[in-house]
Structure 1
């Protein structure tokens, strides 16, 4: 049973583990030539067999949602669309020159910002140009994040015609009081309309993003939000803990922290969500994600081929994720690279014919093995240890595993570790047992790096 005592004990700042090593431990000033070499080698190794994934960051929003920690640019001037798309395509061409053969596109995800800030015509121009002279993998998956207020039927039809079948809507909360304080006025009718239109056109997967822990949230308001959203039967739901990180997100400084739910209320909001999803047939996939039993995410978890990357949980087996656009992150297995975080710096680098990478991490063999432990736990719920890591595990991981086992969250020995049913509720905490960077730098961290787990 998930007790209040356990929730309090494990409500600690820990990463979401969309990468390992995690971003705060990456280095500024990534060697562009080293990154090119890693990218080129990785592409050659996996393109024909598995294909590649593309993440495109479209940063523009018409208004500022004060809770948001994403990289965004606020403007109502839509003339910025064309310049930005030209830069994305120029960056794509730079990577095409490194590939040496036709890319096999297995996965595309448009994130933001607000991708549906861009007109249907411009999205068609962007995607059709990217796919020109590329091979679309027969098992491809194309997805987009949409804002219910501005996602039109024309957006949806255009995207569907381009091969998109998945859409994720940022709902967050339906309570008008909460929407006002986070500056995201979004009537539930808009969510229902956007969902119904997507399904009418042929989208096979609709995801809702909901957040608990937002300012002025109440049990009553969250109950209504959950019931309204579940009534639309989204295929997936991401139920995120609000990450209050005002030291990195200036917009979060615009409301009074006294409006945030206290620890007890936030935990009750979390428990309420998990209980309601379970009551309505949704399965807890892990790390804030729920799905129906018919959804591919659940099927992938049961079959043992669920994966996790910067886009969250995915069913796609692609060993190379290429991020295009401002602040985008690429994952070439042996290295990560992040683009410039300001649009000005990003456009300057791309227009000068350079790769826009500015920060990253080159992985050691030890990094790769410990990343596997973390991915195994987060996706499959169990992992097996390599003999060469036993000394390091004994120093950094086993003491924490003993503590986790004492609380009933894991079962382990020197062969490996596995989550218990109770431990499934605390995946981020269990993964942190294998985070050597976090363990080795505990005493050095003078400022907060991560949001709390719950």
Structure 2
């Protein structure tokens, strides 16, 4: 039965870190002036209560991992660190000029690329330059992505001393054949060393990222990786499906063929096996593709109904305002999205002209805001309702009609004023959200834009 559902629902679809999704952003109604206005409005509404989130994109890597779909620049020249940090700090100052009070930073995350490409001294200058003109919330969460091969004790101690308490390491898979194919060679010993160092320094949450559906990856490979992961017992895990999007410019995913990838049915088996093994040692599934121990903030946020999802993935608390700094970073004012120039040179050029380096975005209309809330509810709580008139929208009957077949397949329950995703339907939550995605339904793409849902 499961294999037939996988075959039926394994189609290309968004991961819903935003709504509308990036390919459907309306450039015709977007402008830098409107983006600034939406951000100022959001900041005034939320800064004193929730605070804001910051995502800082550090794009440099010393080598190319061929599974990666992120925006990155490959170089071994570390002279790039200083000018890039200068640019990020200038961008931050341009945003600060919009606000009439100091931002209260609730969350700060360093992503990439490889943040630990940067030296501890460079990262110190970056973070101190950010926080010296802001306030830091008493319950803030600072986190970074570390590469197990180059994260040093100096990195960990330096960032710990300026407020970081969470680190996530990209593991992907421990099998040597898979690692060679995706050009990410890192023995278990390196991950073990990096994990233990973080705990010795005092980090309260250590995460691992594991991917299933990688080229040449078998069920046995996934089992081996999960068993080794269990031995280290990270506080949280991202255990997610490889997103094969080789059509993206600058992507290294053309280094292997589609035929080298596991089938949809095998990918589902890989996930189910991993979930079973993780459950045996106390991990709880969080939303889609995430797991955490009961002691981790991500689990606690799910229990108290505060789990949130944005361009950083799942987060333990919600902030209405998220500012993305750095080349390709995406910002979210709740009322609008804005993405920075992807090219580092174009990013530098606009900043030299004292212009926020935004090149595209979307201002949400009233219908967008309602649909966004429903999709967030589904992705974070596996349910949504419209008994409150503020969440009713004109196309609701049409959406319910699209969901009827999924209800017959046992993926959800439809009530007059709500829907609830079943345990059987949780692996297909992306498909369920697609029924609400009015942009996708009104204009199906001519070419594939998204990775497969399974």
Conservation of the 8 A alpha-carbon contact between 1:16 and 1:287: no
**Mind listing any 5+ residue stretches in structure 2 that lack a counterpart?**
none
Q: Give the Cα separation in 2 of the matches to 1:14 and 1:256.
A: 21
Q: Which residue of 2 aligns with 1:330?
A: 331
1:122 to partner: Cα distance: 0.4
Q: Which residue of 1 aligns with 2:115?
A: 115
Is it true that 1:311 corresponds to 2:312 in the alignment? yes
Q: Which residue of 1 aligns with 2:175?
A: 175
Q: Secondary structure at the match of 1:49?
A: coil
Conservation of the 8 A alpha-carbon contact between 1:286 and 1:427: no
Give CA deviations for 1:407-430 in whole Å, capped at 9, x if unaligned.
111111231111122222222122
Give CA deviations for 1:197-235 in whole Å, capped at 9, x if unaligned.
000111011111111111111122221111001210011
Q: Which residue of 2 aligns with 1:356?
A: 357
Q: Secondary structure at the match of 2:314?
A: strand
Conservation of the 8 A alpha-carbon contact between 2:10 and 2:264: no
Deviating runs (4+, > 3 A) in structure 1? Answer: 27-30, 386-391
Q: Secondary structure at the match of 1:12?
A: coil
Q: Which residue of 2 aligns with 1:414?
A: 416
Give CA deviations for 1:24-53 in whole Å, capped at 9, x if unaligned.
111447411111111112111111111100
Q: Which residue of 2 aligns with 1:432?
A: 434
Q: Secondary structure at the match of 1:287?
A: coil
Give CA deviations for 1:300-323 in whole Å, capped at 9, x if unaligned.
111111111111111122110000
Aligned pairs (5 A) from 1:9-408: 9-28=8-27, 30-249=30-249, 250-385=251-386, 386-387=388-389, 389=392, 391-395=394-398, 397-408=399-410
Conservation of the 8 A alpha-carbon contact between 2:55 and 2:111: yes
1:387 to partner: Cα distance: 4.3
- The number of aligned residues is 450
CA-based RMSD? 1.4
Conservation of the 8 A alpha-carbon contact between 2:178 and 2:216: yes
Q: Give the Cα separation in 1 of the matches to 2:55 and 2:272.
A: 32
Conservation of the 8 A alpha-carbon contact between 1:141 and 1:316: no
Q: Give the Cα separation in 1 of the matches to 2:123 and 2:368.
A: 37
Q: Secondary structure at the match of 1:383?
A: strand
Classify 1:190/1:82 alpha carbon distance in 2 versus 1 (closer, same or farther; 3 Å).
Answer: same
Is it true that 1:453 corresponds to 2:453 in the alignment? yes
Q: Which residue of 1 aligns with 2:3?
A: 4
Give CA deviations for 1:351-408 in whole Å, capped at 9, x if unaligned.
211000111110011100110001111112211115473531112x111221111111
1:286 to partner: Cα distance: 2.0
Q: Secondary structure at the match of 2:337?
A: strand
1:273 to partner: Cα distance: 1.4
Q: Give the Cα separation in 1 of the matches to 2:279 and 2:433.
A: 24
Q: Give the Cα separation in 2 of the matches to 1:104 and 1:407.
A: 46
